[in-house]
Amino acid sequence: MKELTTEASIAQLDEVIDFIDAFLEEHECPMKIMTQINVAAEEIFVNIAHYSGSEKATITISESDGMAEITFTDSGRPYNPLEKPDPDITLPAEERDIGGLGVYIVKKTMDSVSYNYSGGCNIFTMRKRINA
């Protein structure tokens, strides 16, 4: 398992993605899957930076039996993004509510996602198979 604690700021996004990519490359993750993980990680980290009110975020990543697990922890306002209803993607873009599409993409591209609030922290975990 590897861990990165950084300022919860958009300015740190490249550091977060580089941290995740380095781990995935070590584990010979295919580029297509790495890209899906990067898009999901960017969405979650940007939401933390923009909305949580937390000064710091901690990202942990591990691999077990070909499955990567990435966890984002912050001490911001409690918020479970998984409780928000999925957007109606059958509607034309101009008729859809604003927001929610990023988390929807995370839910659809990862093998599993979970959220809990514990010890004064938001804990969002996503898992994705990176190799057979």
pLDDT in tens, 55-110: 999 999 999 999 999 999 999 999 998 887 665 666 666 665 555 567 888 999 99
Q: What is the pLDDT of residue 99?
A: 57
Please give the CATH topology (third level) of the domain spanning 2-129: Heat Shock Protein 90 (3.30.565)
Q: Give the mean model confidence (pLDDT) for residues 108-118.
A: 97
**Domain boundaries defined on the chain:** 2-129
Give the Cα separation of 124 and 70 in Å (integer). Answer: 8
Residues contacting 105, CB < 8 A, separation 6+: 39, 40, 43
What global pTM score does this model have?
0.91
Q: Please, which residues have CB within 8 angstroms of residue 38's CB and are 6 or more apart in sequence?
A: 17, 20, 21
Tens digit of each residue's pLDDT (9 = 90 or more) over 6-62? 999 999 999 999 999 999 999 999 999 999 999 999 999 999 999 999 999 999 999
Amino acid at 93: A
CA quadruple 27, 31, 36, 37: dihedral, nearest 10: 20
Instruction: Determine contact, residues 48/74, Cβ cutoff 8 Å.
Output: yes
Instruction: Look at residue 49 in the predicted model and tell me its pLDDT.
Output: 96
Q: How confident is the model at residue 103, as a pLDDT?
A: 86
